[in-house]
Amino acid sequence: MAEERRLMKGNEAIGEAAIRAGCDAYFGYPITPQNELTAYMASGMLERRRTFIQAESETAAMSMVFGASAGGGRAMTSSSSPGVSLKQEGISYACGADIPCVIVNVARSGPGLGGISPSQGDYFQATRGGGHGDYYHIVLAPKSVQEAADLTYGAFELADKWRMPVMVLADGLIGQMMEGVVLPLDKGESPRPKRPWAVGQASGRPNHVTSLCLDPPALEASVLARFERYERVAAEETRFEAVNLDKAELVFVAYGTASRICLGALQMAKAAGLELGLFRPVSLWPFPSAELSRLAAAGKRFLAVEMSMGQMVQDLRLAVSGAATGGRAATVDFYGRAGGVIPSEEEVLAYAKTLLQGKAGAA
């Protein structure tokens, strides 16, 4: 089949990829900067006679996702930061009941209403199980429109494979910008993966889809089983991209939009004869800790760059905390901008140079 390339906004590419992945039901509530996604799903889903509902709230939308998935459908919701806070209730329940589903956060700046500019301030919420209880779920961070489409498409498979919610953590920049995108194969109405645990199976015995368990030892056993599954997820689904690590005197660690800026800074540095590297986590949970630890043990020095006051950098520091070279702990520095300010390639490069000249304090 001929490759299908289109010029699309990130929000639209996410929507098209979800539809092609066989999304049966979408539920959402309007919020900037992801409104094009909800509108795209309205036309795309209704055209195919699939379920689209503009929900009364983000909380309701997430429980609709829960219900649709429990009823056997591939279900999705999307929002932006304040709306994703509201969805945390349902995400916790979905994790507790092992409900596969896809949640897209086209993140904006906070806290509170904050602003509508791109931000990476939702990293903690996304990767730490933003709701109540002991849980995690897969979090994938795209750096481009193409990757936003690819990760969304794959998120539906991962959700079914591991029976857990998968979050695509983009930001307003990825959602709003236009790029060329090669769209994945349309699965159409082909059969979805079997869900023998779902309701409506008419298997002869009732299926109860619930997170409730009032017996502490039994609840502990189910949490332990889930955490064993998390270890398998970490072993099989950890993803990252590495650029120019061998020669690099300093390695940027950044994801999503911040990683594009670092890549630009890296190229500017190279033109000036300075070798920098980039390590880009694609899966934020599971976090590529083992790779980073190996790099630290090999003597690499890191500069985390985020559009936040420093959230992913904590995972980086944890990852390299055990790695020491010549009796010295790995050096991790941080550069971030908050409030929806997008750092420029120049300022990131300038900060990296200052570090290498030993003028900025090392952490």
- Applying CB under 8 A, the residues found at the interface with other proteins are 24-25, 27, 51, 53, 55-57, 59-61, 63-73, 75, 89-90, 93, 97, 199-202, 204, 206-212
The CA angle 309-312-313, to the nearest 5 degrees, is 75
Residue 50 or 143 with smaller CB distance to other proteins: 50
Least distance (Å) between residue 212 CB and other proteins: 6
Least distance (Å) between residue 205 CB and other proteins: 9
Residue 5 or 132 with smaller CB distance to other proteins: 132
Least distance (Å) between residue 68 CB and other proteins: 3
Least distance (Å) between residue 184 CB and other proteins: 23
Residue 24 or 333 with smaller CB distance to other proteins: 24
Residue 97 or 116 with smaller CB distance to other proteins: 97
Residues belonging to the chain: 363
The H or E element spanning position 289 is: helix 289-297
Least distance (Å) between residue 62 CB and other proteins: 8
Least distance (Å) between residue 65 CB and other proteins: 6
Residue 29 or 255 with smaller CB distance to other proteins: 29
**25, 100 Cβ separation under 8 angstroms:** no
**269, 276 Cβ separation under 8 angstroms:** yes
Residue 66 or 287 with smaller CB distance to other proteins: 66
For residue 281, which of 301, 261, 304, 250 has the smallest C-alpha distance? 304
C-alpha dihedral sign at 291, 162, 189, 62: negative
How many CA atoms does the CB half-sphere of 242 hold within 13 Å?
13
Residue 99 or 348 with smaller CB distance to other proteins: 99
CA-CA-CA-CA dihedral for 230, 235, 239, 242, to nearest 10: 140
Least distance (Å) between residue 90 CB and other proteins: 6
Query: What SS3 class is residue 8?
Result: strand
Looking at this protein, which amino acid is placed at residue 111?
A: P
**143, 255 Cβ separation under 8 angstroms:** yes
Least distance (Å) between residue 72 CB and other proteins: 6
Token representation of residue 201:
């199976």
Least distance (Å) between residue 93 CB and other proteins: 5
Residue 56 or 346 with smaller CB distance to other proteins: 56
Residue 83 or 121 with smaller CB distance to other proteins: 83
Instruction: Establish whether the linkage from the previous residue to 193 is cis, with ω within 30° of 0.
Output: no
Strand partners, 103: 77, 167
Least distance (Å) between residue 22 CB and other proteins: 13
Kindly give the pairing relationship between strand 75-79 and strand 25-28: parallel
**61, 99 Cβ separation under 8 angstroms:** no
d(CA 94, CA 97): 5
Residue 72 or 264 with smaller CB distance to other proteins: 72
Phi-psi region of 16 (alpha: psi -120 to 50; beta: other; left: phi over 0): alpha
Residue 330 CB-density burial (10 A; 0-12 exposed, 13-18 middle, 19+ buried): buried
